[in-house]
Structure 1
Amino acid sequence: MSNLEELIEKLCPDGVEYKTLGELGKFYGGLTGKSKEDFKEGNAKFITYKNVYSNPALDLDVEDRVRIYPDENQRILEYGDVIFTGSSETPDECGFASVLTKKTDEKLYLNSFCFIFRFNDVSVMLPDFSKHLFRCNFLRYQIGKTASGVTRFNVSKKLMAKVKFPVPPLEVQREIVRILDNFTFLTTELAAELAAELAARQKQYEYYRDLLLTFKLNESTILNEQTNELELSGAIRWMKLGDICLHSCSGATPKKSNSEYYVGGTVPWIRTQNVTFNNIYSVDSFITEQAVQETAAKWIPENCVIVAISGASAGRCAINKIKATTNQHCLNMEIDSSKALYKYVFHCLCNQYKELLSKKQGARGDLNSSLILETMIPVPPLEQQQRIVDILDRFDTLCNDISSGLPAEIEMRQKQYEYYRDKLLTFKELKKEA
């Protein structure tokens, strides 16, 4: 019998008590009344949405700052606080939790897109136990059901108050923390090694991509794979992106208020979050044929080069490997195969990502489709394009294919942790006496 089993047998043989968030604490909001200017030269540490979403325990070694004035009455994070993300584009990503597991004298302020759950009695649950508990699958399922919305989903604090979870004795919590922290440490160490290897391969890919796609006017640069040196051969043309397209278009977002555009939809609908320098084989959003007929969300053929043109995703590109539609924030380009290979164009645009970012306009940081289509790219002969594509595809597969290689190993280790976490945090509920 393991130490944990002995503790459970000794301290809670008949099960553990389950409580709701509303019974054990209260919810509080993050910062209020702040403008963009307050985040440019801040004087206090600021916890971002990404920090909460990405870390079971808050990362306090950050450079994010916000300006706090002497007479302001803003809420400060406290040891043991559980912080939740308040909204997301999908309900499954709402309510991700992160916990302040370290005591600090430094004042920490929370962004307005997250909210705090604070225990009335912080001693009822170890913060290091909370960081595992509030990310386990059965709680994530409950939390996901508290979110509602159409294009963006928001968590209901009223429903969150009803989320139910086990509160085992502190000795049991402590032993579970020991087991899971040790597992996490070993997993993190291996993941760090694998991530370092992946980063090295990614740099190698980017190095050869830059090398292969850096041309001098009227020259074509090709890598000799045997000597690992560059060769110049043949003439190239510099052409506008729009001149090598058979067709280009954006899509549309059918009215969310019209259920006939969405309910029972089977038409793949690509959104900007699907565009991540990748091949798109499947999507999680669909519209109906009626939406295609009545709105600007028209079909595009397979193997278009798609560029995201809106907001934080602007400049990212992808290739659709399925016939699909897109929203209006995607520029879709069907490439003329007599002039260029679509994969070659894709690699060119990946290489010009920073240049595309420099063309962003407006408060949202959008890209103008016309300016993208005016972008000049080097176009060597098709056989040389194919050689470049073959080399870069091998690196791309190694770096990005989640089903094999290094990313898959990292994902496997994370799934192992999640399996044992959920197993250890599953308790029989103590039956209350009538």
Structure 2
Amino acid sequence: MIFNESDLNKHWGLKSLEDLGIVQRGKSKHRPRNDSRLFENGTIPLVQTGDIKAANLFIYEANEFYNEFGLHQSKLWDEGTLCITIAANIAETAILKRRMCFPDSIVGFIPYKGKTTSLYIHYLFTYIRYRIQNSIQGSIQDNINIDYLTKLKFRIPEFAVQQKIAKVLSDLDAKIELNNRINSELEAMAKLMYEYWFVQFDFPFNFASTSLSTGAQGRPDVTLSGVEGYKSSGGKMVWNKELKREIPEGWEVKTLRKIAKTGSGGTPLSNKREYYENGNIPWINSGEVNNPFIISSEKKITKAGLENSSAKLFPKGTILMAMYGATAGKVSLIDFEASTNQAICAIMPNQDVYRYFIKFKLETLYEFLVNLSSGSARDNLSQEKIRELKFVLPDSQILDNFHKTISPFMAKILKNLKQNQELSTLRDWLLPMLMNGQVSVADAEERVEEELGMVAERRESYKKE
């Protein structure tokens, strides 16, 4: 089967992966694979299939690390190797940005010079991935092997055209990667500020100003001026019997129910087509709450679905907490009006100044919340447990200062997420047309330059604000 053949690209050469580069399976000889002896004091990054699926394009870091014993039963692959999954998440691809190991559930592809590039093959697999997955559905484990990969045939243009196609698509992905990294830095800075203010109680004692600006490539930069920390400057702390710890004088302890309203959603009957077909009301499930911010939802329900179920509409700015399953205890914030299923607790602050304060507080409680779960197979939290969570509240001026300081961070994160959505839509629109010859590279380059130019204009506009 030729997965990317069309009437428009039949003049391209017919190639297999083996014609284009070296194809080898990863190594993980030792059993069991999770033997702690492989990982104790490890420093050698180990990539798993989940890391590849989670990557947008490149893999910079890993979550697990082999030691020398682990490396001995595996293999180090060079930077630039294309990783292709053959188990669990089939035909997912990403490119190593440093030397790493990976197991035999992943195949490594190293392109022959002048034949192709890892980037081009990544985008080719992105295009044909779902056809590959559909072709093996129904097998015992829905896995493929290296023989399956090497027998695949593709229509491939000449090398110079491949390079241009890969550049058009990777320019979009590079911008997405940059936005993601900026967002990670912004979120880390916001969390650090919350930690100083409301965990260590070293909030600005003489608050003058805090400003967010953007430096090179739009990266965040925070400027603090005229600031002294309360606790480190000798601010008075008093013992709180309820919490069994010291808190700043004048602060009080309140449960979440005193500063926010909560609610939960529901699921319209799945056998009622009229509850889903042509729906335009966003409907969020607990799996989506794994993201700290949600700017859109793929699933929609109709007005009839909303009215004939326990699903409810929650306003923009609502904080969501997953109560069931793998994401139980995870927290997100929606930037649009949406409904949810019953596995989510919606938290609506009584005042805007509580919004980010509550979000960051709940995120710091993740481990505690997981332990609070009932212990059933679904690891349930409950609205009642969430309502009774305790918050140490400062005076209104401190809370207002925190909200004003943190709001530009959040606004920037949301802007970047929306830009990424636009860029991803353009990339996904161009990908099949470039891979089957439906659109010329020159036309695609023009469209990408136009879109990236608009992104740059929006960034300059943000700097001036």
Q: TM-score, normalised by structure 2?
A: 0.57
Within the candidate set 6, 12, 35, 1:16 is matched to 12
Looking at structure 2, the residues matched to 27 and 259 of structure 1 have their Cα atoms a distance apart, in angstroms, of 47
Query: The residue matched to 2:191 in structure 1 has which SS?
Result: helix
- Matched with 1:285 is 299
Looking at structure 2, the residues matched to 196 and 60 of structure 1 have their Cα atoms a distance apart, in angstroms, of 13
- State the 1:284 CA deviation: 1.6
Looking at structure 1, the residues matched to 426 and 298 of structure 2 have their Cα atoms a distance apart, in angstroms, of 25
- Matched with 1:236 is 251
- State the 1:166 CA deviation: 1.8
Matched letter for residue 366 of structure 2: L
Matched, 1:373 2:362: no
Query: The residue matched to 2:129 in structure 1 has which SS?
Result: helix
Contact 2:356 2:403 in 1 (8 A): no
Give me the identity figure in percent: 15
Contact 2:281 2:302 in 1 (8 A): yes
- Matched with 1:307 is 321
**Pairing 1:284-433 to 2, within 5 Å after superposition:** 284-335=298-349, 337=350, 341-361=351-371, 362=375, 366=379, 368-369=381-382, 370-402=384-416
- Matched with 2:238 is none
Contact 1:80 1:127 in 2 (8 A): no
Relative to structure 1, the CA distance from residue 346 to residue 42 in structure 2 (aligned partners, 3 Å threshold; closer, same or farther) is: same
- Matched with 1:227 is 226
Aligned length: 375
Relative to structure 1, the CA distance from residue 386 to residue 188 in structure 2 (aligned partners, 3 Å threshold; closer, same or farther) is: same
Query: The residue matched to 2:365 in structure 1 has which SS?
Result: helix
- Matched with 2:50 is 50
- State the 1:191 CA deviation: 9.2
- Matched with 2:155 is 166
* Structure 1 range deviating more: 199-208 or 316-325: 199-208
Query: The residue matched to 1:325 in structure 2 has which SS?
Result: strand
Specify every segment of 5 or more residues in structure 2 that has no aligned partner in the other structure, as ranges: 1-8, 135-140, 210-224, 236-247, 439-465
Contact 1:261 1:288 in 2 (8 A): yes
Contact 1:319 1:346 in 2 (8 A): no
Contact 1:303 1:319 in 2 (8 A): yes
Q: TM-score, normalised by structure 1?
A: 0.60
Query: The residue matched to 1:275 in structure 2 has which SS?
Result: helix
Looking at structure 2, the residues matched to 207 and 250 of structure 1 have their Cα atoms a distance apart, in angstroms, of 30
Relative to structure 1, the CA distance from residue 302 to residue 204 in structure 2 (aligned partners, 3 Å threshold; closer, same or farther) is: closer
Matched, 1:144 2:130: yes
- State the 1:394 CA deviation: 1.8
Query: The residue matched to 1:166 in structure 2 has which SS?
Result: strand
- Matched with 1:431 is none
Specify every segment of 5 or more residues in structure 1 that has no aligned partner in the other structure, as ranges: 1-12, 89-93, 149-153, 429-434
Contact 2:127 2:432 in 1 (8 A): no
- Matched with 2:6 is none
Considering Cα pairs closer than 8 Å and 6+ residues apart, tell me whether 1 or 2 has the greater RCO. 1
- State the 1:48 CA deviation: 1.3
- State the 1:27 CA deviation: 13
Contact 1:236 1:379 in 2 (8 A): yes
Contact 1:97 1:131 in 2 (8 A): no
Within the candidate set 86, 91, 96, 2:92 is matched to 96
